[in-house]
Amino acid sequence: MGNKGAKKSGSTELTSKQVAMLKANTNYSEREIREWHAGFLRDCPNGRLDKKKFVEVYKQFYPHGKADNFCKLAFDTFDSNDDGTIDFDEFLLAISATSHGNLDDRLAVAFDMYDISDDGFIDQKELAKMITAMYDLVGETNRKGDNDPKKRAIDIITRLDVGGDKKLNKHEFIAGCKNDPVIRRLLAPNA
């Protein structure tokens, strides 16, 4: 986040420095930032969103699916300082990047979520795990034939892997998603 030392851990007060940083890094106005902050504090009075609450909130958007696996991967991506919680800055930066960022930014966030090992690549195992989590999230039960997560992961990597190393780097992932609307809908539905 940059200036973690500038505010107290777990603080619920929105400082002028935070507002300035969030305005500079999101498309939100000061008024919108303050509205988001008020809503965040209603849901998380201590100023921290833990993994359990994150899953509860996400399940509201996907009532017919199983959000747990997807949420764990998303939570770990958004918890940028790895403290086991998401503070307001991390929350709003994640919301902004996934909903208001340009296509490249949104695809970069999707890549970071899929790169479970955090090694800068998405391999077939990571992609199959993510596709399974997405199927769980939306309640997809047909996982045979072309819908099998492992087969789908192999197919996607084969189509997007320019380097021939059977894994995707961020550039291959972003370029591939931009050039293939079917893959983009599957891997980055909000992008």
| Per-residue pLDDT tens digits for 161-189 | 999 999 999 999 999 888 888 777 777 77
Coil vs helix vs strand at 92? helix
Q: Report pLDDT for 109.
A: 84
CA distances, 56 to each of 106, 109, 174 (Å): 23, 22, 30
| Per-residue pLDDT band at 190 (split at 50, 70, 90) | low
For residues 64 and 152, is the Cβ–Cβ distance under 8 A?
no
Same domain, 66 and 137: no
Domain count, the chain: 2
- According to DSSP, the residues that pair with 87 across neighbouring strands are 48
Same domain, 28 and 93: yes
Point out the domain boundary residue: 82, 99, 116. Answer: 99
Same domain, 114 and 162: yes
Domain residues for 139?
103-187
Cα 29 to chain centroid distance, Å, stands at 22
CA–CA separation, 4 and 106 (whole Å): 24
| Per-residue pLDDT band at 11 (split at 50, 70, 90) | low
Q: Report pLDDT for 140.
A: 85
Q: Which residues are within 8 A (CB) of 61 and not within 5 positions of it... i.e. 6 or more apart?
A: none
CA–CA separation, 163 and 169 (whole Å): 9
Q: Report pLDDT for 123.
A: 95
Q: pTM for this structure?
A: 0.72
DSSP string of 21-41, one letter each residue:
HHHHHSS--HHHHHHHHHHHH
Same domain, 108 and 159: yes
Mean pLDDT, residues 45-74:
83
A 10 A CB-CB count for 81 gives 13
Same domain, 107 and 94: no
Give the pLDDT confidence of 77-88 residue by residue, as tens digits.
888 888 999 999
